[in-house]
């Protein structure tokens, strides 16, 4: 028997008041006059309907991220960087979200991973009076937005758990405006704030925990400039476990005597697929055939910041220790990042980068559906007298056509090459050696401070702690490291199945 189709639902009123009704309009006008609708205008400018019945959490988050003008740092479609539900594929696979929705804790985790500042509270961790204060605070500003997790049954609506942003507040009536992202079902509507609290103060059957609300705003700093963690690869959990659990145990069990021993313990046992776990944050664009060196001011600005972070990283003592470790023949052979001396693998790197870039431009994650087989190469040039720029270029071919892709990458040169690579090669300065040194240095800095406590030799322990301390790092580098550390902490909570409980735990 075929399932009957549905065209919207009648909004139960009371308790809700339709935003577009006469009473709803009057509430809106009064709230505007009282100044508690400031957040509404940004949200309504980016209002969207969830594209899947179970995507309410993703649609709510995408709407808020776009309203806050948070740059996702990667392409959506064409040349545009934009948050869409399909872009929110971290923390929980999209197919799983499509089937069963997303939990409150996983949505909080996803908001963090997307570069937002998040303060989350279950009803067991807050009060209705606190909630009202937060709603008023965000409603009188366009720099903060509230996403509520509630049970529809409290409002006599069909369905169960649901996410939607709160668009405003009417102080006189003590009512909140819910911008329901399931617009195919119910329109935006006003509800009594105390009743909304009751709807949130219900138990989510999947987690066994109360629902709640989250406050989302912009970070004071920019998201990652150079590196970001990926939890899309099937083995990301085992890799995260290696860093947060196995490395401290290894350092505790091994009798390390010097810095080289410490690096050997950590780097010689790096898990498979580690390169896919930590990704470069790159600038990807379609190739402009008439002038492929014409960079926008925005591109120049971001590249300059990346160059500065690389420069700062190469000037710290830890970078020199990593460099010395990787320069030894024995260490190079053990490290999964390196190849044999006679193997020319830069074309492979360029091809892989181009394929990934084409995937981003086409909205497809990964590069398996593309084949970079024409004109793949690396260019090195100056732009208007500013710092040198490295551009990996290629023509990407798939079954339906081809596409020219340029990927802009940081171009700081390394004084030492690993395993015999020549730093003066005519392919420019995009070298695996420099990539390895910077990546591993960033990783070691980002490991949680307690990682090193297992080192038995007190003098060595103090030396290591001094090398990995973030307190005296330059600002840009410190922010990059703390971002990576925060991501590791989030993944640690996922591995330990604590993402639902540790909502308020500090990331750094």
Quick check: is 56 catalytic?
yes
Both tokens of 26, joined, read 């009057």
Nearest-angstrom CA–CA distance, 16 and 195: 10
Q: Is 231 a catalytic residue?
A: no
Q: From CA 179, how far away is CA 164, in angstroms rounded?
A: 6
Residue 40 structure tokens: 């509404």
3-state SS string for 199-235: HHCCEECCCCEECEEEEEEECCCCCCCCEEECCCCCC
Distances (CA, A) of 420 to 313, 324, 332, 345: 22, 14, 10, 12
Q: Which of 145, 170, 180, 354 is catalytic?
A: 180
Residue pair 370/397 in contact by the 8 Å Cβ criterion: yes
Which ranges of 5-103 would DSSP assign to H, the alpha helix? 22-34, 38-45, 56-67, 94-100
Would you state the torsion angle of the CA atoms of residues 142, 143, 148, 154, taken in this order, to the nearest 10 degrees?
Answer: -30
Q: Check 112, 145, 151, 162 and give the catalytic one.
A: 162
d(CA 285, CA 381): 17
Cα–Cα distance measured from residue 406 to residue 396, given in angstroms and rounded to the nearest whole number: 10
Q: Which DSSP category does 454 fall into? A: G
- Options 56, 113, 372, 418, the catalytic residue: 56
| 375 φ, ψ (degrees, to nearest 5) | 60, 20
β-strand partners of 393? 377, 406
Helix (H, G, I), strand (E, B) or coil at 68: coil
Q: What is the dihedral of CA 204, 206, 208, 209, to 10 degrees?
A: -50
DSSP string over 299-342 = HHHHHHHHHHHHHHHHTSHHHHHHHHHHHSHHHHHH-TT---TT
Is 162 one of the annotated active-site residues of the chain? Answer: yes
Annotated catalytic residues are 56, 162, 180
């Amino acid at each position: 028997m075929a399932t009957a189709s549905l065209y919207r639902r009648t909004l139960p009123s009371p308790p809700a008041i339709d935003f577009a009704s006469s009473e709803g309009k009057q509430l809106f006008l009064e709230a505007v006059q009282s100044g508690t609708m400031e957040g509404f205008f940004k949200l309504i400018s980016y209002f969207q309907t969830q594209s899947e019945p179970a995507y309410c959490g993703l649609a709510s988050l995408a709407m808020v991220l776009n309203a806050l003008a948070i740059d996702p740092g990667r392409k959506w479609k064409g040349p545009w960087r934009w948050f869409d539900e399909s872009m929110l594929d971290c923390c929980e696979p999209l197919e799983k979200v499509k089937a069963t929705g997303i939990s409150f804790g996983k949505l909080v985790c996803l908001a963090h991973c997307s570069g937002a500042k998040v303060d989350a509270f279950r009803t067991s961790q807050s009060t209705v009076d606190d909630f009202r204060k937060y709603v008023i605070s965000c409603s009188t500003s366009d720099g903060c937005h509230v996403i509520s997790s509630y049970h529809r049954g409290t409002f006599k609506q069909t369905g169960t758990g649901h996410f939607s942003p709160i668009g405003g507040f009417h102080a006189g009536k003590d009512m909140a405006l819910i911008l329901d992202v399931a617009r195919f079902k119910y329109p935006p509507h006003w509800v009594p704030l105390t009743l909304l609290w009751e709807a949130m103060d219900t138990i989510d059957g999947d987690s066994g925990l109360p629902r709640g609300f989250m406050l989302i705003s912009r970070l004071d700093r920019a998201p990652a400039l150079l590196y970001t963690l990926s939890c899309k690869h099937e083995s990301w959990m085992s890799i995260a476990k290696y860093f947060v659990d196995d490395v401290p145990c290894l350092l505790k069990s091994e009798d390390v005597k010097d810095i080289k021993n410490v690096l050997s313990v950590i780097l010689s046992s790096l898990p498979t697929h580690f390169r896919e776990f930590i990704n470069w944050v790159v600038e990807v664009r379609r190739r402009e055939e008439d002038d492929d060196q014409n960079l926008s001011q925005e591109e120049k600005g971001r590249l300059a910041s990346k160059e500065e972070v690389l420069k700062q990283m190469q000037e710290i003592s830890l970078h020199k220790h990593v460099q010395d470790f990787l320069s030894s023949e024995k260490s190079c052979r053990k490290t999964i990042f390196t190849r044999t001396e006679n193997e020319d693998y830069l074309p492979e790197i360029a091809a892989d980068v181009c394929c990934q870039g084409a995937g981003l431009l086409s909205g497809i994650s990964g590069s398996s559906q593309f084949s970079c087989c024409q004109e793949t190469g690396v260019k090195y040039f100056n732009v208007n007298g500013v710092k040198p720029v490295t551009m990996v270029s290629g023509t990407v071919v798939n079954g339906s056509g081809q596409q020219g892709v340029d990927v802009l990458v940081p171009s700081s040169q390394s004084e030492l090459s690993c395993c015999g690579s020549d730093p003066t090669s005519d392919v420019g300065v995009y070298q695996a050696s420099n990539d390895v040194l910077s990546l591993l240095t960033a990783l070691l800095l980002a490991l949680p401070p307690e990682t090193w406590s297992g080192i038995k030799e007190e003098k060595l322990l103090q030396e290591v702690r001094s090398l990995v301390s973030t307190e005296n790092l330059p600002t840009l580098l410190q922010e990059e490291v703390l971002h990576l550390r925060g991501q590791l902490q989030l993944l640690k909570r996922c591995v330990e199945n604590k993402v639902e409980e540790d909502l308020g735990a500090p990331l750094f």
